[in-house]
Amino acid sequence: MIEMDQKIAEQLSEVSLNSAIQVRCGTSNSFTVAASIIHPLITVFEMGGVYISASRAANEVIEGLEGIGISTEKIQFLDMVSSGIHGGTDTEYENVAYIDSPIMLESALLRTMYFMRTTTQERNFVFLDSVNALAIYNEERMLAEYLHTFVNTFRQRDVLSIILNVPDQTPPGVLANLDLYCSDLIDRGQIVIN
């Protein structure tokens, strides 16, 4: 059982719906950090949202979250990984949609907007996991442009955006732009695992 980072919940209580949070984590603690964010959003703030999984398959994320007792019922997953794997889009979960490739950035944006238009939840978040995974496939300038559009699109619609990234695997130009666009920072990038 992982131990949730309680300070993240405290920090989340101080942000508004139109905030854009940059979340810095390390390679080894990304799931713990993601879970520590999702948990209070669902249970304390009673939000729904979209989880864009570019790092790993949505099935894996769902199983990970459900495994530690976090309900994923109110989350719609957009899987940008599994279409690239033969048979990867077989799923038992109804709340998973697939995007053909991590290069189809606009599709992820439009699919998220589609879910925001159809959801009955009043307060929503969009969780992007992660910038460094998208950086594998997308050129630096395009990724920076995308994040600019992403943050502004959801800020305008009062949707809380949370952008996960591992700084040392993110292109410097993208990182600098994230600092500029995002209104808040949760920094868990320097954790030392004993």
Rule CB under 8 A: which residues touch another protein? 100-101, 103-107, 109-111, 113-114, 117-118, 137, 139, 141-142, 145-146, 149, 153
Q: Report the nearest approach of another protein to the CB of residue 155 (Å).
A: 15
Smaller CB separation from another protein, 118 or 194: 118
Smaller CB separation from another protein, 92 or 117: 117
Q: Report the nearest approach of another protein to the CB of residue 30 (Å).
A: 25
Smaller CB separation from another protein, 17 or 103: 103
Measured at the CA of 78, the angle between CA 19 and CA 49, to 5 degrees, comes to: 40
For every residue of 154-175, DSSP letters joined together read HHHTT-EEEEEE-GGGS-HHHH
Instruction: Quickly list H helices, the chain.
Output: 6-12, 30-43, 58-67, 105-118, 131-137, 140-156, 172-181
Nearest to 65 by CA among 104, 26, 39: 39
Smaller CB separation from another protein, 32 or 161: 161
| Structure tokens given for 14 | 């101080």
Smaller CB separation from another protein, 52 or 105: 105
Q: Report the nearest approach of another protein to the CB of residue 109 (Å).
A: 6
Beta bridge partners of 175: none
Sign of the Cα torsion 174, 81, 159, 11 reads negative
Q: Report the nearest approach of another protein to the CB of residue 138 (Å).
A: 8
Q: Report the nearest approach of another protein to the CB of residue 43 (Å).
A: 29
| Structure tokens given for 81 | 């990984």
Smaller CB separation from another protein, 90 or 117: 117
Contact 70, 38 (CB under 8 A): yes
Q: Report the nearest approach of another protein to the CB of residue 186 (Å).
A: 27
